[in-house]
Chains A and B, each alone.
Chain A
Amino acid sequence: MNRSLIAKICTIAVILGIAACMFVIGRGHTVYFDAKSVEYNGETVEPGYRTAIFVNDERVARLSAGDRGMATCIGQSFKFRVEVTPEKGADPVPYEFSIKLPYNMDGIVLNVPAMIAGAPQDVYLSEFVSMAVEVSTDAEEEIITDEFSLGDI
């Protein structure tokens, strides 16, 4: 009796442990990359002519100055590679970054020129606050509760 109780408690503990683990490693973030000019140390840091972003060796964005790109990341450690083409026709300059994303932010904006300039986190990183979602077209969304669904199964 006692042994089975201990076994039960252990099982529950293990399951809770897995759940806690999932909370940490499964947290998803949407990361936005800005190729925009930024004020840092009293100077203006300008973006290059073209900025290409690679995550896991896959190009997720190719930005002109002033553009914004997007990628998703599961977990808090985020690694990506940037290739900046300073001006038209020039060779791209690669940079590697590995940063910790803050857990509580869903959307994160990274300013790439600031990162390249070596600015601290509070300069290059800010939270993305979505506006577009609030303006939903379905303001009076009808709730279908008792329908007979003929849909796909």
Chain B
Amino acid sequence: MKKSFKSILLDNSVPIMFIIICAICIPLSGFSPTYLINEIITRLGRNAFLILSLLIPIMAGMGLNFGMTLGAMAAEIALIFVSDWQIWGIPGVVLAMIVSIPISIFLGWMCGNLLNMAKGREMVTSYIISYFLNGVYQLVVLYMMGPIIPIKHSTIKLPRGYGIRNTVSLLNMRQCLDNAWAIRIQGVKIPVLTLCIIALMCLIIVWFRRTKLGQDMRAVGQDMEVARSAGIAVERTRIISIIISTVLAGFGMVIYLQNMGNISTYASHSQIGMFCIAALLVGGASVDKASIGNVFLGVILFHLMFIVAPKAGAVITGDSMIGEYFRVFVSYAVITVALIMYETKKRNQKSNAARQLQLDQEAEEA
């Protein structure tokens, strides 16, 4: 009994650590509960969908999909087009999602193929892919938009005639999803529509796990060779899981950006993967196991830390930058710790299996 309590503690060490950090920082920061709840709900609506997109590749045993950045890029390109076409409001959001689909599918297909060539080091490869495509993205957005890809409005084009400005305003679709059906309870704004979309997505994921494809993915995630001998097209299944993740990340990014109200053309996507992955891990997920519950717990804890850390840091040290750096450090440290825990676990399992095999053989011989 005591041992199981200890193992529970150990398995949930990351969320527990975060609860402690938040418990210390919240009183120090001096924010009112209403403000905090408001912020958390805003951020839940803003980020949850993006983080949900990470679940499917984890299911397929491909680890944390750092390539979700690709979906974010697709969404940004789609939003640039939509704001150039002057499609506003919810129709604009829907159109941006639709336009992002083919781009996401193409990028996801490419990413999936590359990851199949790098089995066993999917994470570092998907990570480098996101950097590589960031270069391609810049080539497209910074040089090709204007002369090759028509962009009409000078409000989003750089004065030199080609390339997109640092920030593209989405003023006309700003928070249009969040404000539709929004209700206020004691000063807390609840974006009902956005939360409904997120809930719907959760249901779809639950349903997807039970479909043939979902079962195949889990089989591939458990053991590729076994899955292959069971007649599952392993490579194809893996590619599909990445494509789905990329498309969902694209949708998530559209939701994220409509809430922000503007696109930082060259920066919005670059850190998004890192923050989403960190949030998921804070929620108690690991590289090979993640549930919807992890997503929500993660968003709440991680963003609570993110809100209170700068203020608390300023109170403790008298320098607001400390808190800023602290939260960045924590994001990276969480990912590092989670990766280390995953690799050690994998290694222990392997050596345990080897020991078991040895014992079996010895027993057979005897």
Q: Which residues of A contact B (CB under 8 A)?
A: 15, 18-19, 21-23, 25-29, 72, 74, 106, 133-134, 136, 138-139, 141-153
Contacts and interface: CB of A to CB of B under 8 A. Distances in A.
Given A15-B101, A74-B89, A153-B306, A26 B159 contact: no
B85 A23 contact: yes
Nearest to A138: B159
Interface of B: 43, 47, 85-92, 94-95, 98-99, 101, 138, 142, 153-155, 158-159, 163, 165-166, 172, 260, 264, 266-267, 270-272, 275, 303, 306, 324, 328
Given A28-B86, A74-B88, A22 B163 contact: no
Given A19-B98, A26-B92, A143 B142 contact: yes
B176 to A, nearest CB: 9
14 contacts: A18-B94, A22-B87, A22-B91, A23-B85, A23-B95, A26-B88, A26-B92, A28-B89, A144-B266, A145-B142, A149-B270, A151-B264, A152-B260, A153-B43
Contacts of A143: 142, 158, 163, 166, 266
A21 B91 CA distance: 8
A139 B163 CA distance: 13
Contact of A28 (B88, B101, B158, B270): B88
Contacts of B98: 15, 18-19, 22
Contacts of A72: 88, 172
B271 A149 contact: yes
A53 to B, nearest CB: 19
B168 to A, nearest CB: 12
A116 B156 CA distance: 36
A27 B86 contact: yes
B253 to A, nearest CB: 12
B159 A133 contact: no
B271 A22 contact: no
Contacts of A142: 166
B95 A26 contact: yes
Contact of B328 (A139, A141, A150): A150
A23 B324 contact: no
A35 B98 CA distance: 41
Nearest to B46: A153
B29 to A, nearest CB: 16
Contact of B172 (A15, A25, A28, A134): A28
A41 to B, nearest CB: 34
Contacts of A136: 159
A61 B260 CA distance: 28
Contacts of B275: 153
A141 B159 contact: yes
A25 B166 contact: no
B31 to A, nearest CB: 15
- Smallest CB-CB A-B distances: 4 pairs: A26-B91, A28-B88, A26-B87, A22-B95
Nearest to A24: B91
B32 to A, nearest CB: 19
B279 to A, nearest CB: 9
B95 A19 contact: yes
A74 B98 CA distance: 19
Given A26-B88, A142-B166, 8 more contacts: A18-B98, A22-B98, A26-B89, A28-B86, A143-B142, A147-B267, A148-B328, A151-B267
A153 B98 CA distance: 24
- Among A27, A141, A143, max chain B CB count under 10 A is at A143
Given A145-B138, A149-B270, A19 B99 contact: yes
A146 B137 CA distance: 13
